[in-house]
Structures are given as C-alpha cells and as structure tokens.
Amino acid sequence: MASSKGSSYWAVQVIVCAIAAIALPTVGVLLFTLSPEEPARGVILILIGIVFFVFLVRLVWSYLHMTPVQRAVYAWVVTQRRVEVPLMKPNRFGPDLLTLSVATRARDGKLSPAELDALKALDPSNPYPGA
C-alpha cells in the first residue's frame, strides 16, 4: 500500500475553514440587515466567521512552514488517533487537544519509539509516512 502524503487532510481543513470564513459572515450580514428585530444572530455569525478566518490564516501559515514529510506525519497521527477517539464520542474536546499535541510532537520528531509503535498499532493498514 502506498504511503499517503497527507494532502487530503490539509485540503479538507482549508476548504472547510474557507467556506465557513466566507459563508458565516455573509449569512450574518443578511440576517443583520433582514432581521433588524434580532440583530444579535447576525453579529454572532459574523464573529464566528472571523474566528474561522483566523483559523484559516493559521492553517495556511502552518501548511506553508512545514516540509511535505512533516505535513504527512501530522496528518497521519490525526488519522491514527481517529481510530482511538471515535468521531461521535461525547466530550471529545480533550482528546482532540491531545491528538493535536501528539501530532505536533510527531511532526517535530519528538515521539519516543514506544509512542510511535503505539500509534502504528492503532491502524496497521495505514503506513507511517516518515522515515
């Protein structure tokens, strides 16, 4: 099985953030102008759209400042941990932060061999993209 370059993970992240950064403020402005009796809904959507725009800028900056191998390793860790932390699990905010922390350490080459082996064992059909 060929090793993934992790580009689909990054593409999905950028697309979702870009759509939200454009759509939410647009809908917010429409609500704000078309529903003057409750302008707060529109303002909230505009603010959430601004947050997504900030996430998008940070995401693109991160993508551009990583090597292709670092991007692939980061995406691989997120994918591997998805097996361990199901998508619909309640209260999954903490595990998500842990996943991103582990992915950052893996990207930087700071995982121990035992941690790397544990990640590989989560989904053996998904090969490690690093050296």
Give the pLDDT confidence score for residue 51 in this predicted structure. 96
Asked whether residue 39 falls in the same domain as residue 20, the answer is yes
Q: What is the pLDDT of residues 57-72, one digit of tens each?
A: 999 998 899 999 999 8
Please report the pLDDT score of residue 46 as a whole number. Answer: 94
How far apart CA 20 and CA 18 sit, in angstroms, is: 5
77-121 confidence digits (pLDDT tens): 988 887 665 655 555 566 778 888 999 999 999 999 999 999 998
Q: Are residues 6 and 49 in the same domain?
A: yes
pTM, two decimals, is 0.73
Other beta carbons within 10 angstroms of residue 74's beta carbon come to 25
101 and 119 co-located in one domain:
yes
pLDDT score of 90: 59
Name the domain count of the chain.
2
- Regarding whether 39 and 1 lie in a shared domain, the answer is yes
Query: What confidence score (pLDDT) does residue 110 get?
Result: 92
Cβ pair 42, 48 in contact under 8 A: no
Residue span of the structural domain in which 113 resides: 67-124
| Together in a domain, 89 and 52 | no
